[in-house]
Structure 1
Amino acid sequence: MTTYSPNNGTKSYFPDFGCAYDLPGGVMNDDPFPAQDPDTEKWGYIDKSGEWAIEPEYEQARMFSDGLGLVYSEDKGAGFVNAQGQLVASGYIAATSFSDGVAFVSGKLDDEKNGIKHNDSYAAIDKNGAWTLDSAKSSTETDRYCYKQPIFFHDGVGFEGIKDGKAIYIDSKGSEALSASSGHDGVSIVDAGPFYDGYATIELQGVDMWAKAGYIGMGGTTAYGLIDKTGALVKDPTAKSTQWATLVDLWGGINHAGGGMVAAQDSVSGLWGYLDAKSGEWKIQPLFSEAKPFADGMAYAKDFATDDWGIIDDSGAWTAVPRLDNFNSDDQSLVAAGGLVYGTAEAVGGAAPVTSEGWMNAQGLWVASWKL
């Protein structure tokens, strides 16, 4: 494992597999792990010991989510496999992974010959493959494809879209769960994210709000906020427009909540810190060049001085010194308790820089690594 490099030029994290995916956030947890058989070039799933948990028989395989793995084969199309390797639903042209018991599909393989049109839209299914949400209420097969884009459900709700400057969220039954607005004349919500830990991030736009607040050169009229499950902003921008910038603390970027905190960027300094999710006040001052969400009392942050990633605790202190120059991340929480993260690090100070990659634990120690 310390020296293995596949002949086909792809990177492999296990010496007996042609290629392998990192799980969300680069964390290897107890779910089966997608891997490719180098002989057949088929995909299956392995366990932590490297043994096949689900035999490689698919052209593609994705991470497990909500207890199911998204797979694709030429004869059966896209489908979902459980931890025992059984297909619980298949035959789709394309599909998303499940979240909160809902996935979205773009059509079935035999729809065209049956005269079913998709209209570049999506339908919703449950974990048994049955139609759900508005797709279950439709009168015809064509009408089931009634969503212009897939909806990601988390914390029991999913962001459906923007209507009249408001963010609309629905529950897993398709009913409107909440509608959030800025509560401020001339300021609209133009985008929103999923709920994590009871909070969701929103993007706001207003007419010259920075200029009215007395700031110059703030780069447009976009700011970011945070709403709770009632649809209310953590900091309510209902006061005069001249106070707008102060009320949102000049957040130039924002990540999702975790552990009662939210990674956010101070627009003045450009640095990242952590807000208390309930109050919107800084709990960890913006001192990092980048920051990721908290999970299990730890988070990944990028040191401003060295530009390397390390691990901090909920006081902002380093528990693993910054040493990673890169790691696998999809903005999810990275290292859960007992988990591993895949990344690369460069050791400097010698005759020549030496770059290593591998799996690191929550204390910043290599569990397995090899030189590039």
Structure 2
Amino acid sequence: MKKPLIFLLLCFIQFVNSQELALVRKNGKWGYLTKEGTFCIEPTYKNAKSFSEGLAAVEDNGKWGFIDSKGAWVIPATFDNVKDFNSGICLVSKDKKWVYIDIKGEVQIAPPSDKLYEFENGVAFIKQGNKIGLINSKMAIVLEPKYDVIKPFQNGFARVANNKNWGIINTAGKEVVEPAYAEIGNYNKNTTWAKKDKVFGLVSAGKFIPVDGADKIWDFETQDLTYARKGGKIGFIDLKGTWVIIPIYDKAKAFSKNLAPVCIGSKWGYINPKAEFVIPPTYSDAEVFSTNGLAPVKEKNWGFINDTGKLVIPTQYGITTNGFVIALFVQQDKGFIDGLARVKNEGKWGFLKPDGTVLSNQWFENAELFSQTKEKNNVDKIAADKPKAETKTKPVNKKKR
């Protein structure tokens, strides 16, 4: 009974000490908002960044440092520029020199590299001459520089290239798809799309499966179907490369909740995996369904429908995420995220609840997405008492390099 009790206590303390905060600007100053709509940290900063792994970068007298979720300084403001924490490491600049620091603010010495890169998924790039490799958060080389290109990791996998031949590696530097393709997609569900000898297909278990007539294939996302193009029209294929929905649509997006946005002419609607229209094509744009069962749709502006097609939030908002217009979203960032959607109305930003009300009826000059914070002191103490306990960090999505 002792071990389960310790585990439950650990989970409880993590839950109690974790919260999500959004960086918002009010009256020209930045502060941090809770999901209850109250300020955890009042807007007092001229410049600030969202929380990453329990710390947020803020500017003080022209220098950057890091605070915790109570607003207390953890790492003094001595840096000229800073990135986000990831894998327990952050890239910071001081006296025109970039270095790595850990969550205590201590400098970490990396192996020689022509350039320092941010960490993600527990690794960072290392560049020596014209070749790229990987180091881990302990500053050890896990992959000697050997590739011409390594793209950012997604879900623990990255595209790599040598001599313009593309493959896939994992964070240990192991090839899961050998570099043998002219083009390649992201790796998901143990599958990726690829182009070989001008033929598009899927790569699964090391085998290339041509897809009949396809001249473009998109990545698999939440479901075992993805969209592909043939003869200028879009349809859907399964993990075996079989056309399960014939290509008849002008545009399409990913399935989620067994519904996919498709466009005929200039109007968007939603089909099910049997290619039946569940929601007729009546919108000027449409996005995939969020986990809470709502999807953004556009007439003149954006609103939200449920999976029966009922408009539950009027189309009166602008909507963005991660600083980009909605057309550039990655799927998991669209619409409602963990119960709230960031929207714009009459030049101000706020957070919508699924019932259409605005969080605490507040609008801001700017607002970023909620990010998780974690008070680690009590958690680390108990974790130290429990042998073989593991702590994991949350990866941060970044722009392509």
TM-score (norm 1): 0.58
Deviations 1:202-234 (CA, angstroms, capped at 9, x unpaired): 58799899xxxxxxxxxxx85334458999962
1:127 to 114, 137, 145: 137
- Asked if 2 retains the 8 angstrom alpha-carbon contact of 1:235 and 1:280, the reply is no
2:349 to 357, 361, 364: 357
1:327 to 320, 328, 336: 320
Aligned position for 1:79: 100
Note the C-alpha offset of 1:252.
3.8
- Structure 1 CA distance, aligned partners of 2:264 and 2:187? 23
Aligned position for 1:345: 345
2:13 matches 1:19:
no
- Structure 1 CA distance, aligned partners of 2:182 and 2:246? 16
Unaligned runs of 5+ in 2: 1-23, 33-41, 201-213, 227-236, 367-401
Note the C-alpha offset of 1:151.
3.1
Aligned position for 2:37: none
- Structure 1 CA distance, aligned partners of 2:49 and 2:85? 11
Aligned position for 2:152: 152
Deviations 1:220-272 (CA, angstroms, capped at 9, x unpaired): x853344589999626556xxxxx796456474646x8x66686654754637
What letter matches 1:356 in structure 2? Answer: K
1:304 to 295, 298, 303: 298
Deviations 1:134-169 (CA, angstroms, capped at 9, x unpaired): x1xxxxxxxx3x33233333333322249998x632
Point out which structure has higher relative CO (alpha carbons under 8 A, 6+ apart).
2
Aligned position for 1:176: 175
- Structure 1 CA distance, aligned partners of 2:295 and 2:57? 24
- Structure 2 CA distance, aligned partners of 1:36 and 1:223? 45
Aligned position for 1:369: 363
2:25 matches 1:32:
no
2:129 matches 1:118:
yes
- Asked if 2 retains the 8 angstrom alpha-carbon contact of 1:192 and 1:202, the reply is yes
Note the C-alpha offset of 1:192.
1.4
Q: Which moved more, 1:84-93 or 1:54-63?
A: 84-93
Counterparts in 2 of 1:98 and 1:61: CA distance versus 1, 3 Å: same
Deviations 1:284-304 (CA, angstroms, capped at 9, x unpaired): 776655555665435662x32
Following superposition of structure 1 onto structure 2, how do residues 200-219 of structure 1 map, counting pairs within 5 Å? 202=193
SS at match of 1:271: strand
Note the C-alpha offset of 1:130.
0.8
SS at match of 1:153: coil
SS at match of 1:369: coil
Aligned position for 2:27: 4
Unaligned runs of 5+ in 1: 23-27, 107-116, 136-143, 182-187, 210-220, 239-243, 347-354
Deviations 1:80-129 (CA, angstroms, capped at 9, x unpaired): 533x44444558664333332221134xxxxxxxxxx523x433111111
Greater per-residue strand proportion: 2
Counterparts in 2 of 1:307 and 1:359: CA distance versus 1, 3 Å: closer
**Over the residues paired in the alignment, what is the CA RMSD in angstroms?**
5.0
- Structure 1 CA distance, aligned partners of 2:170 and 2:246? 30
Aligned position for 1:54: 75
- Structure 2 CA distance, aligned partners of 1:280 and 1:44? 53
Note the C-alpha offset of 1:16.
2.0
The alignment covers a number of residue pairs equal to 299
- Structure 2 CA distance, aligned partners of 1:325 and 1:52? 35
- Structure 1 CA distance, aligned partners of 2:337 and 2:170? 27
